[in-house]
Every structure is written in C-alpha cells, then in structure tokens.
Amino acid sequence: MSQPSLSRILPQVIEAILHVLSTRYNSYPFTADEQERVKAEFVRSFNFPGVIGAVDCTHIALRAPSVDEHAYVNRKNFHSLNVQIICDTRMQLLNVCSKWPGSTHDSFILHHSRVGLHLEAGESGDGWLLAEELRYNLAHGRTRSVVEHTIGLKGRWRCLDASGGKLLYKPEKVTRIILACGVLHNITLRHGIGMDVELEWTPKSLLTHHPMKHLPRLMQ
C-alpha cells in the first residue's frame, strides 16, 4: 500500500478502533466489583494488597510540531508525548493518557488525568495506584515491575518505539494513534496472540524527580 493511501485511510481506522472497541477492551476499574477483581489479582500474583493498578509514563517520539514546539522537548532532548499508562497484573492496559507534551512532569499528568481526579475526589473506592519511589521496599518494586514490562510491549507497535523513528503527524493525531495501539494491545493479550519481538526494558522510577506527595490514595 502506498504512503498516500495509508495516510488517507488511517484516520478512519483509528476512529473505528477507538469508537467501537475502546470501551470493550480498555477500561479503568472505577466500580467496587471491578476494583476487587484487580486487587485480588495483585494479591495473588505479588502478595501486595489494595492495589488497583500500576502506573508509569513513557515517551513516544514525534515530529517537532509547529505550535508550542519547545513544550514537546523532553528531558532527553527529543520531541515526544509523555504518555501515562495504568495496567493490571496481566499487563492489560486499564487506562492510557496520551495528550501531554514531552516536557510535562509525570506527576502533573496523573494529577490532571481522569483517573487522578477521581482518586483525589475519593470517587474510586478504597484502593491504590502503585508508583515507584527509591525509598520503597523490594515487594513494592516487584509488584510495580509489571507496568515496566507493559511499557516494553510498545516494541510490538513499531510506530511507538523510538528506535524505529518518530511519528510524522501532528500531536493530536499521534494521541489517537497511541490510544488505538493501546486497544489493539489489550485485544492481543485477551486472545493469546504472542509476541514476535524481544522485549528490552530498563526499570525507572516514576517519582525519582517529581514525587507526588500531595496526591491522595496514591501509594508511594
């Protein structure tokens, strides 16, 4: 397929994925019953109670936009979106927030995301999102490693992997592409479709530079 043809049909495919499949395959556990299922999985897998998701951020490279270009330059000095993901023990994506420029602090993204606002308001039940802080213990690190493994899975979608180049679209379109890839990721996991790439990931601390000390219900 030629590049012009691909570019012409891509928006329709993305919108179909997001409008038809998103709620079915990508849903944060806001209800008590949903949260109890996720908590039970974290206890069963890691013996860590009260966790309703593991959270981290990752950078997706894109072409320098013409508007507010400087805001998209991240701490590693390339243009990106800083994408927050929340996952469960099975590496299923529970929530993806992909609209923020690369210079945005991880803590700011969580604080202003739909999930973060629900947690602050106490509207999401009695549970914790698990992020990492250097002072925390080994059990915490083992439990939270699931989100870093999940981020490593972006290697399956080469358009999201910086080693494969950068997305040559405006930030608004890149945001939609990221969300669509998140839905497809969950579909592959639910249907047992294996990986064809080797995963390489390096543990990092979400809170090393910007501790989220003022966010209620966030386990640090």
- Region of poorest pLDDT, from 3-12, 116-125, 126-135: 126-135
Q: Is the pLDDT of residue 155 over 90?
A: no
Least confident span in 58-67, 102-111, 124-133, 137-146: 137-146
Evaluate if pTM is beyond 0.85: no
Residue 136 reports pLDDT greater than 70: no
Among 22-31, 41-50, 59-68, 114-123, the range of highest mean pLDDT: 59-68
SS (H, E, C) the chain: CCHHHHHHHHHHHHHHHHHHHHHHHCCCCCCHHHHHHHHHHHHHHHCCCCEEEEEEEEEEEECCCCCCHHHHECCCCCEEEEEEEEECCCCCEEEEEEEEECCCCHHHHHHHCHHHHHHHCCCCCCCEEECCCCCCCHHHHHHHHHHHHHHHHHHHCHHHCHHHCCECCCHHHHHHHHHHHHHHHHHHHHCCCCCCCCCCCCCCCCCCCCCCCCCCCEEC
